[in-house]
């Protein structure tokens, strides 16, 4: 048997017992050492209809057993792993759209990362296991998945050095976008949020300017950005007002990247003539990351080009998982919250 943090809702996370998963051919059993709480984990409207369940997809750990036929990995290997993996052979995968692949959208861990152990199915073992270098800690490795998503998003948005970037919303996804854009040579990085704590954090991780969302206007952006709007606007909040701000904040020839889930009834009215006929504005979206994105994320972390350690504000045990969910859901004085199931 093993302990898990069972999700019922954001205010009801219970430590329960489950059978330790049994592995079959091609599979791995992983002892979870660290698992990050993602912003999507605390979206009750998105999660609660599936409750009770064990969440957690930003994981790092140690292989404790390998099934028959597994040759590349062995017990004792330190790894990060992808919960969603593509088939690599369908129409979407062959056209660099791995995250639209049906296989990617149907794969996952058994059960989830907020558990002492999890089983990696054979398809995940084949396409989504990443051996950790000695200089990458388990806590740092929990950022491989979210950083991979951010890398893919900025690539799809055609980010280039010297680009001016506006990030709307500075939760963990927004903070990673700020940090990566800064590291990759953005000309200027500007961010907004409703929480001053997060604005201050964004400045520490590379934002040139931070504006409280209640005070933000496109004119304020122009004042900061040499009279111009932003070449790249990244929407990292599901608030409908942020989507409307994005439409008014993108420069001619620029791109809007929608990087956050909204509720199902949210729609967006786009000024077609203004955007496409006159100003050549691109609107794109991004979801998840491909295996290549995961590897690039791990390489950046191992090379210390990105600073993940300083983003961690809380390290909690399974028994403290409910506190962790509340911290992330309240979105106040915390950045990255990590659950360490072996504590």
| Of 40-44, 62-66, 115-119, 277-281, minimum mean pLDDT range | 277-281
Tens digit of each residue's pLDDT (9 = 90 or more) over 62-118: 999 999 999 999 999 999 999 999 999 999 999 999 999 999 999 999 999 999 999
Q: Whose CA is closest to 196, among 208, 210, 175?
A: 210
The Cα 111–Cα 21 span in angstroms is 8
Q: Which architecture characterizes domain 158-285 according to CATH?
A: 3-Layer(aba) Sandwich (3.40)
* pLDDT given at position 265: 85
**Residue with more model confidence, 48 or 204:** 204
Q: Does residue 277 surpass a pLDDT of 80?
A: no
* pLDDT given at position 278: 81
* pLDDT given at position 243: 94
User: For the residues 217-243, what does the mean pLDDT come to?
Assistant: 96
Read off the pTM: 0.97
Three-state SS annotation for the chain: CEEEEEEEECCEEEEEEECCCCCCCCCEEEEEEEEECCHHHHCHHHHHHHCCECCCCEEEEEEEEECCCCCCCCCCCEEEECCCCCCCCCCCHHHCCHHHCHHHHHCCCECCCCECEEEECHHHHHHCEEECCCCCCHHHHCCHHHHHHHHHHHHHCCCCCCCEEEEECCCHHHHHHHHHHHHCCCCEEEEEECCHHHHHHHHHCCCCEEEEHHHCCHHHHHHHCCCCCEEEEEECCCCHHHHHHHHHHEEEEEEEEECCCCCCCCCCCCCHHHHHHHCCCEEEECCCCCHHHHHHHHHHHHCCCCCCHHHEEEEECHHHHHHHHHHHHHCCCCCEEEECCCC
Task: Output the average pLDDT for the chain.
Answer: 96
Per the document, the length of the chain is 343
2-146+288-339 and 158-285: identical CATH topology: no
Query: Rounded to an integer, what is the distance from CA 128 to the centroid of its chain?
Result: 16
**% the chain with pLDDT above 90:** 92
pLDDT band at 262 (very low <50, low <70, confident <90, very high): confident
Could you tell me the residue ranges of all domains in the chain? 2-146+288-339, 158-285
* Residue 53 bridge partners (DSSP): 7
N- to C-terminal Cα separation, the chain: 16
* pLDDT given at position 45: 82
pLDDT band at 274 (very low <50, low <70, confident <90, very high): confident
Q: Does residue 120 surpass a pLDDT of 90?
A: yes
pLDDT band at 221 (very low <50, low <70, confident <90, very high): very high
CATH number for the segment(s) 2-146+288-339: 3.90.180.10
* pLDDT given at position 39: 93
* pLDDT given at position 272: 87
> What does the block give as tokens for 82?
């992808």
Tens digit of each residue's pLDDT (9 = 90 or more) over 137-182: 999 999 999 999 999 999 999 999 999 999 999 999 999 999 999 9
Tens digit of each residue's pLDDT (9 = 90 or more) over 192-214: 999 999 999 999 999 999 999 99
User: For the residues 279-307, what does the mean pLDDT come to?
Assistant: 96
Tens digit of each residue's pLDDT (9 = 90 or more) over 313-335: 999 999 999 999 999 999 889 99
């Amino acid at each position: 048997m093993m302990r898990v943090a069972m999700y019922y809702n954001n205010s009801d996370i219970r430590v329960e017992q489950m059978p330790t998963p049994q592995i079959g051919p091609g599979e791995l059993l992983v002892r979870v050492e660290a698992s990050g709480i993602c912003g999507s984990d605390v979206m009750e409207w998105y999660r609660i209809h599936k409750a009770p369940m064990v969440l957690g997809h930003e994981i790092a750990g140690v292989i404790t057993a390998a099934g028959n036929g597994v040759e590349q990995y062995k017990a004792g290997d330190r790894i990060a792993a992808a919960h969603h993996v593509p088939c690599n052979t369908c129409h979407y995968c062959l056209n660099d759209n791995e995250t639209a692949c049906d296989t990617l959208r149907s794969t996952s861990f058994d059960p989830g990362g907020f558990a002492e152990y999890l089983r990696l199915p054979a398809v995940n073992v084949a396409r989504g296991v990443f051996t950790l270098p000695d200089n990458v800690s388990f806590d740092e490795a929990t950022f491989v998945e979210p950083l991979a998503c951010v890398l893919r998003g900025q690539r799809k948005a055609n980010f280039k050095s010297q680009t001016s970037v506006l990030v709307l919303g500075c939760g963990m996804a927004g903070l990673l976008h700020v940090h990566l854009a800064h590291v990759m040579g953005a000309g200027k990085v500007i961010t907004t949020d409703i929480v001053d704590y997060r604005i201050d954090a964004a400045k520490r991780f590379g934002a040139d300017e931070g504006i409280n969302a209640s005070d933000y206007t496109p004119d304020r952006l122009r004042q900061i950005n040499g009279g111009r709007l932003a070449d790249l606007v990244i929407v990292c909040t599901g608030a409908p007002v942020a989507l409307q701000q994005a439409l008014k904040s993108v420069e001619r020839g620029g791109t809007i990247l929608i990087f956050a889930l909204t509720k199902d009834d949210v729609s967006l009215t786009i000024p077609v003539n203004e955007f496409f006929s006159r100003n050549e504005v691109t609107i794109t979206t991004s979801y998840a990351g491909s295996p290549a994105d995961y590897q690039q994320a791990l390489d950046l972390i191992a090379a210390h080009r990105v600073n993940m350690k300083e983003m961690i504000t809380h390290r909690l045990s399974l028994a403290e998982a409910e506190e962790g969910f509340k911290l992330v859901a309240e979105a106040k004085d915390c950045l990255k919250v990590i659950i360490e199931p072996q504590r």
